[in-house]
Homo-oligomer: A and B are copies of this chain.
Amino acid sequence: MSKILVQKFGGTSVRDKDTRASAAGHIKDAIDEGYKVVVVVSAMGRFPDPYSTDALLQLVGFPHSQISKREQDLLLSCGETISSVVFSNELKEAGIHSISLTGAQAGFITSGDFTEAKIKEMNPERVKKELEMYDVVVVAGFQGKTEDGEITTIGRGGSDTSAAALGAGLGAEYIDIFTDVEGIMTADPRVVETARILDVVTYSEICNLAYQGAKVIHPRAVEIAMQAKVPIRVRSTHTKDTGTLVTSSRESAKGKDIPDRLVTGIAHISDITQVRVNTNKEPYRLHSEVFKAMAAAGISVDFINISPTGVVYTIPERFTDQAVELLERMDYEPIITKDCAKVSLVGAGMTGVPGVTAKIVQTLTDAGVHILQSADSHTTIWVLIHQEDLVPAVNALHNTFELDIQQD
Q: Tell me the A residues contacting B by CB distance below 8 Å.
A: 50-51, 56, 59-61, 65-68, 70-71, 74-75, 77-78, 81-82, 85-86, 88-89, 92-93, 99-100, 102, 104-105, 149-151
Contacts and interface: CB of A to CB of B under 8 A. Distances in A.
26 contacts: A50-B51, A51-B59, A56-B82, A59-B82, A60-B86, A60-B89, A66-B89, A66-B92, A66-B93, A67-B89, A67-B92, A71-B85, A71-B89, A71-B100, A74-B81, A74-B85, A74-B100, A74-B102, A75-B82, A75-B85, A75-B86, A78-B78, A78-B82, A102-B151, A104-B149, A105-B149
A105 B66 contact: no
Given A59-B82, A78-B78, A78-B81, A88 B102 contact: no
A114 to B, nearest CB: 13
A285 to B, nearest CB: 44
Contacts of A92: 66-67
Q: Taking the full assembly, how many copies of this chain does it contain?
A: 2
Nearest to A56: B82
User: 5 closest Cβ contacts across the A-B interface?
Assistant: A50-B50, A78-B78, A75-B85, A60-B89, A67-B89
A81 B75 CA distance: 7
A105 B67 CA distance: 18
Contacts of A59: 51, 82, 86
B71 A88 contact: yes
Nearest to A72: B85
Nearest to A78: B78
A59 B100 CA distance: 15
Contacts of A151: 102
Contacts of A104: 149
Contacts of A81: 74-75, 77-78
A317 B247 CA distance: 68
Most buried by B among A82, A105, A149: A82
A70 B61 CA distance: 32
A77 B68 CA distance: 21
Contacts of A60: 85-86, 89
A51 B70 CA distance: 20
Contacts of A89: 60-61, 65-67, 71
A302 to B, nearest CB: 36
Given A50-B50, A59-B82, A70-B99, 11 more contacts: A50-B51, A66-B92, A66-B93, A71-B99, A71-B100, A74-B81, A74-B102, A75-B82, A75-B86, A77-B81, A105-B149
A155 B150 CA distance: 25
A93 B61 contact: yes
A69 B86 CA distance: 13
Contacts of A100: 71, 74
A21 to B, nearest CB: 14
A203 to B, nearest CB: 34
A92 B75 CA distance: 16
A67 B50 contact: no
A229 to B, nearest CB: 30
